[in-house]
């Protein structure tokens, strides 16, 4: 079945609005995380690196540098700040005792109430999700999972193009 001219225009407008809103969401997400990082005595890059470590588990500084596109020197500074703040620890790699891995520390091992800073966002997001039925929530979850994978692959492609240009 062909899309009507009106349906086509409506879809174009919805897609335009989508890109506009997703850009706004991205901007405010970055600004939120920067503000949260500052409240923890860190910067936004430090906090996002900690988030990557939650995703990857223990990795080397070199692997973190490769994932983020930061220099190894910059990553060393990130790890130093995260370690001082109690978010990570350096540990011997069990597979190769000559290597050091950076391991994220569990929230329960922190006694400074850091996790409490996420409670208002978590509660607000939970309230927002109450407005969606299970089918709608499955659709939103599918989109978030696929868009996260897309952003990861696009980021890795950017890093690869930068590396090949050297």
Q: What is the pLDDT of residues 60-101, one digit of tens each?
A: 999 999 999 999 999 999 999 999 998 999 999 888 888 889
Q: Where are the domains of the chain?
A: 15-111
**What CATH class does 15-111 carry?**
mainly alpha
Nearest to 55 by CA among 42, 68, 40: 68
pTM for the structure as a whole: 0.80
State the DSSP H helix or E strand holding residue 131, giving kind and residue range, or none if neither. none
Give the pLDDT of residue 5. 67
Give the pLDDT of residue 24. 97
Nearest to 99 by CA among 71, 62, 54: 62
């Amino acid at each position: 079945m062909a899309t009507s001219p009106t349906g086509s225009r409506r879809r174009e407008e919805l897609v335009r609005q989508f890109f506009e809103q997703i850009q706004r969401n991205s901007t405010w997400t970055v600004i939120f995380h920067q503000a949260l990082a500052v409240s923890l005595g860190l910067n936004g890059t430090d906090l996002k690196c900690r988030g990557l470590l939650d995703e990857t588990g223990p990795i080397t500084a070199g692997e973190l540098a490769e994932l983020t596109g930061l220099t190894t020197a910059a990553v060393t500074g990130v790890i130093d700040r995260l370690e001082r703040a109690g978010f990570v620890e350096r540990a011997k790699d069990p597979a190769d005792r000559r290597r050091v891995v950076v391991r994220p520390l569990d929230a329960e091992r922190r006694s400074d109430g850091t996790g409490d800073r996420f409670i208002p966002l978590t509660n607000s997001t939970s309230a927002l999700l109450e407005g969606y039925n299970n089918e709608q929530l499955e659709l939103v979850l599918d989109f978030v999972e696929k868009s996260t994978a897309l952003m990861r692959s696009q980021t890795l492609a950017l890093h690869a193009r930068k590396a090949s240009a050297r």
